[in-house]
Structure 1
Amino acid sequence: MASFASGKPHCAMTPDPHLDGLLAHAVRRPDVFIRVTAALARHQAAASAARAREGRSLGPVDGLRVSWKDLFDIEGTATTCGSRLTTRQPARADAAAVARLAAAGAVCIGKTNLSEFAFNGLGTNPNFGTPRNPVFPRSEDRLCGGSSSGAAAAVALGLCELAIGTDTSGSVRVPAALCGLLGFRASGHRYPQAGLWTLSPTLDTIGLISGQMAWIRAVDEALTDIADRDEPCRGPYEAPQFLLDVDPHLEPAVSAALVRFAEALRDAGYRVEHAPHAHLAAVQTLFDKHGTLVGYEALDSIGHQVARGQTALLDSRVGERLHEAQRRLTPTALETLHAERLSLMHRQEQLSENVVFLAATTPMPAPRMGELASARHFHAHNRRILSLTMPASFLDMPAISVPIGRDEEGAPIGAQMSVPQGRDRFLLHLAASLENDGLFTVSSSPDDHTASQTPSAQCFARL
């Protein structure tokens, strides 16, 4: 892709007042966008409009406004990782995923803010500012969740239809849930990762945040290698069997919303059974005994920053987590975590193909910034907010968070559906079917220009 970092358009374009207004709004939100790629967006939008006029659209992604978490290389822009410690040298080429969506006609709005080095689930960033949750008045100081905090905020503000983030321990699902959006974590390596900075090579995967399943499915199709795609739906899938786990540590409003959602599924004809998610307990036991895999892999990916004595430029909370991982690391910890992970994943593969694990996405709604003043409170909130999403990440389970209601203060609540590794397409079809049936809805979303792409619920048989 030609570089547009200079801000100078490379061709004559008819001004688009709507797009110009969105870009101006994005520029006014530096807490959400680390970099607005205005010239590139105008160029891509103009090209898309020309194709539409000439009847040669590239497909459902053509003209879709997207943003990229600032871990992805975009030619001509620096990849900051949300840190002051990274290079400011412009990338020489687009990340593979960026190039693939550009080829499908997507319009790149810019690069979104994140927790520094994607290393907390609360979405805070002292370097570029912490995005405030757009669902609430700014005076309420509610967090978006993270680490893909800017990604969720960009969609919630209507600045793009879909945001591309990463999900290591819940970094797409958590902010989607706290902002009342859809957040999809794909199986690892479903999408190309060249040109993407990774915190945890074992666990990192690309995730999508949007207000509509049609957009998530269209981007999933565009990003997935043809050779790796699942077989298309040739007829009804086997009806899903939901296994519901209502964690006893959920806040009452979250628990009540999850139970209501399960009852709505039953009323719609789906099978829902109460069953503890054994893998949740098994993974948590592993973490309690041996520490977290993401913590240990972070020592390799960013620990050198501490070793260089650059902690003054590092978010203190990131430094504290690195020190804790270093303190807990033992010669056998990594070996044990990897071995147990493979064993648990093998057990998941033996499950019936229609099993869907249903749980809350987070145990509580969006926290307030003031609740994180001390290191102790910050790390306790971080552990808690990731507690229900980390097991799926550890076992490389595709998972999606869908909005299922709000608490008495209007804070969104999300439910997480997850399936064993590699069953992404089944999960996406299921979520689209539930959306079509009105079993969940995003209360506010950008202009719907792809509503006709919404899949039919007939892809599923009912019991």
Structure 2
Amino acid sequence: MSLTDLTLAEARDKLAAKEIRSAELTEAYIGAIEATRSLNAYILPTPDKAREMAKASDAKLETGKGGPLEGVPLGIKDLFCTEGVRTTACSKILGEFIPPYESTVTRNLWDAGAVCLGKLNLDEFAMGSSNETSAFGPVMNPWGSDNQRLTPGGSSGGSSAAVAAHLCVAATGTDTGGSIRQPAALTGTVGLKPTYGRCSRWGIVAFASSLDQAGPITRTVRDAAIMLTHMASVDDKDSTSVDVPVEDYEAALERGVKGKKIGIPKEYSVDPMPEALAAFWKQGEEWLRDAGAEIVHVSLPHTKYALAAYYIVAPAEASSNLARYDGVRYGARVPGDDIIDMYEATRAAGFGDEVKRRIMIGTYVLSAGYYDAYYLRAQKVRTLIKRDFENVFAQGVDALLTPTTPGPAFELGGKQDPVEMYLNDIFTVPVNMAGLPGISVPAGLANGLPLGLQLIGKPFDEAGLMSIARTLEEAAGSFAPPAR
């Protein structure tokens, strides 16, 4: 077994037992990153920084004073500000911006002893479902080939591809409408979107502030539990972070599903549903039933409005958040005849087409005369969506089982229509609208490509959610992309 084949749990345990050194593990990943540059998962590898951090970790491990993630090499989505390391959100408008501060999530990881391998590719400002809107070019799904260039999903496509291709032990991601779970499903990895407020948003470049949430992409559910334990925290710098105790999520995996009630929402049975996807969904039910869970059928009547409401709320918040990129304070600047001309020229050159599209939609729905008709109505629908979930959980349901995506990975450039692209988030968006935790677990292969199943949990019940996810994982088995 190669060092890069170790899961996070295995690498952590071997490092703590001094069976391997962080320096050699880190060097193995640096070599793997260089050998797979064609995937375009990393936009900024940081080998020198990684070696320096690994050396410091080995010194701590030698004295037995290492942290819980001491020496473990991670990849960081380029939406997380990293002190002294370029952060761009994969947009031209941030140029060569180097933050003088560290995001709370990455600070938590470094405090736990983790090693930074570099910054990972994403859709520009996290706006996309295929990682094709990045200013640094698209990421290639390692399940594809030179003859079949597949998307790794988005926006956390660099994170999912890097984990699937063993270019880091685990990676950080962000999820606004499915941007952790959808790419995880398309790459055969595990993607966890925690409850809104579970992880601090401070130092993460904002897309839609009431929807964004950080989470991990990993190879196993156990690894996701370990990552969340060290990513989550309350934060005085983020008023939306919630002061709920961080559990030992890894220990909670042993709870299992016996006696749990799992809901199957009828509204997620879209027409037409691919035969393989329907079969895996049914198989997931059987796996959970065989493990001792009770399966019940439930209804979430306002689910059908979730996608439309999301694409009003998210662009509205994006248009406000992205108003700060004006060429004055930081990032790129395009000269103009006066300050207004400079604003316009900078934003025209700095933003990509998808970001411009969402800014325009958001500005429109917030404008005088349309605010009540669109934005306010969408927020009311959002409340109804949240209430649907609350009603189901009030009936004793512990979690919901659904598909993660409408199908497997598609070819890059295969979806030119924006609406067709937005439909990739049809199963994931309701979770963000309600602020709930969700996790995608690999369910199997359809025509040689991975498909995922999604579990949706009660607020701040990530522990219970992951114990159920582990049961699915054990039943389905693991899947690795073909060697490149």
TM-score by length of 1: 0.83
Instruction: Show the counterpart of 2:405.
Output: 362
Instruction: Show the counterpart of 1:270.
Output: 293
Q: Distance in 2 between matches of 1:259 and 1:126?
A: 36
The one-letter code matched in structure 1 to 2:57 is S
Instruction: Show the counterpart of 2:445.
Output: 406
Question: Offset at 1:417?
Answer: 0.5
Asked if 1:393 is matched to 2:438, the reply is no
The one-letter code matched in structure 1 to 2:468 is L
Instruction: Show the counterpart of 1:159.
Output: 167
Q: Which moved more, 1:179-188 or 1:415-424?
A: 415-424
Q: Distance in 2 between matches of 1:248 and 1:111?
A: 39
Go from structure 1 to structure 2 and tell me whether the alpha carbon gap of 1:347 and 1:259 turns closer, same or farther (over 3 Å shift). Answer: closer
The one-letter code matched in structure 1 to 2:29 is L
Counterpart pick for 1:229 among 245, 266, 274: 245
CA contact (8 A) 1:73 1:195 kept: yes
Asked if 1:108 is matched to 2:116, the reply is yes
Go from structure 1 to structure 2 and tell me whether the alpha carbon gap of 1:82 and 1:236 turns closer, same or farther (over 3 Å shift). Answer: closer
CA contact (8 A) 2:154 2:179 kept: yes
The secondary structure found in structure 1 opposite 2:132 is: coil
The one-letter code matched in structure 1 to 2:477 is T
The one-letter code matched in structure 2 to 1:89 is F
User: What's the CA shift string for 1:369-393, capped at 9, x where partnerless?
Assistant: 1413x4xx2x133211111101111
Asked if 1:150 is matched to 2:154, the reply is no
Asked if 1:444 is matched to 2:480, the reply is yes
Q: Distance in 1 between matches of 2:184 and 2:214?
A: 14
Go from structure 1 to structure 2 and tell me whether the alpha carbon gap of 1:231 and 1:15 turns closer, same or farther (over 3 Å shift). Answer: closer
The one-letter code matched in structure 2 to 1:156 is A
Q: Distance in 1 between matches of 2:464 and 2:476?
A: 18
Go from structure 1 to structure 2 and tell me whether the alpha carbon gap of 1:343 and 1:431 turns closer, same or farther (over 3 Å shift). Answer: same
Counterpart pick for 1:42 among 51, 63, 72: 51
Go from structure 1 to structure 2 and tell me whether the alpha carbon gap of 1:139 and 1:236 turns closer, same or farther (over 3 Å shift). Answer: closer
Q: Which moved more, 1:426-435 or 1:81-90?
A: 426-435
Question: Offset at 1:175?
Answer: 0.4
Instruction: Show the counterpart of 2:76.
Output: 68
Counterpart pick for 1:243 among 251, 260, 263: 263
The one-letter code matched in structure 1 to 2:197 is H
Question: Offset at 1:328?
Answer: 4.7
Q: Distance in 2 between matches of 1:303 and 1:441?
A: 46
Q: Which moved more, 1:169-178 or 1:29-38?
A: 29-38
User: What's the CA shift string for 1:306-325, capped at 9, x where partnerless?
Assistant: 97243344322332343344
Asked if 1:318 is matched to 2:355, the reply is yes
CA contact (8 A) 1:67 1:163 kept: yes
The one-letter code matched in structure 1 to 2:207 is L
Asked if 1:338 is matched to 2:379, the reply is yes
Question: Offset at 1:152?
Answer: 0.5
Q: Distance in 2 between matches of 1:146 and 1:87?
A: 21
CA contact (8 A) 2:319 2:358 kept: no
CA contact (8 A) 2:258 2:293 kept: no
Asked if 1:297 is matched to 2:321, the reply is no
User: What's the CA shift string for 1:122-143, capped at 9, x where partnerless?
Assistant: 2113521100100122321110
Question: Offset at 1:218?
Answer: 1.2
The secondary structure found in structure 1 opposite 2:92 is: coil
CA contact (8 A) 1:395 1:421 kept: no
Question: Offset at 1:107?
Answer: 1.1
Identity of aligned residues (%): 26
Asked if 1:172 is matched to 2:180, the reply is yes
Q: Distance in 2 between matches of 1:204 and 1:225?
A: 15
The one-letter code matched in structure 2 to 1:320 is R
Question: Offset at 1:398?
Answer: 0.3
Instruction: Show the counterpart of 1:9.
Output: none
User: What's the CA shift string for 1:95-123, capped at 9, x where partnerless?
Assistant: 11111110101111111000011111121
Instruction: Show the counterpart of 2:37.
Output: 29
CA contact (8 A) 1:230 1:425 kept: no
CA contact (8 A) 2:199 2:215 kept: no
User: What's the CA shift string for 1:80-102, capped at 9, x where partnerless?
Assistant: 01011114231112111111110
Q: Distance in 2 between matches of 1:395 and 1:225?
A: 20
The one-letter code matched in structure 1 to 2:294 is R
The secondary structure found in structure 2 opposite 1:139 is: coil
The secondary structure found in structure 1 opposite 2:76 is: strand
Q: Which moved more, 1:125-134 or 1:99-108?
A: 125-134
The secondary structure found in structure 1 opposite 2:37 is: coil
Instruction: Show the counterpart of 1:206.
Output: 214
User: What's the CA shift string for 1:327-385, capped at 9, x where partnerless?
Assistant: 4552213233334434543553352454311111001111111413x4xx2x1332111
Counterpart pick for 1:54 among 46, 60, 63: 63
Q: What number of residue pairs does the alignment pair up?
A: 421
The one-letter code matched in structure 2 to 1:260 is Q
Go from structure 1 to structure 2 and tell me whether the alpha carbon gap of 1:340 and 1:32 turns closer, same or farther (over 3 Å shift). Answer: same
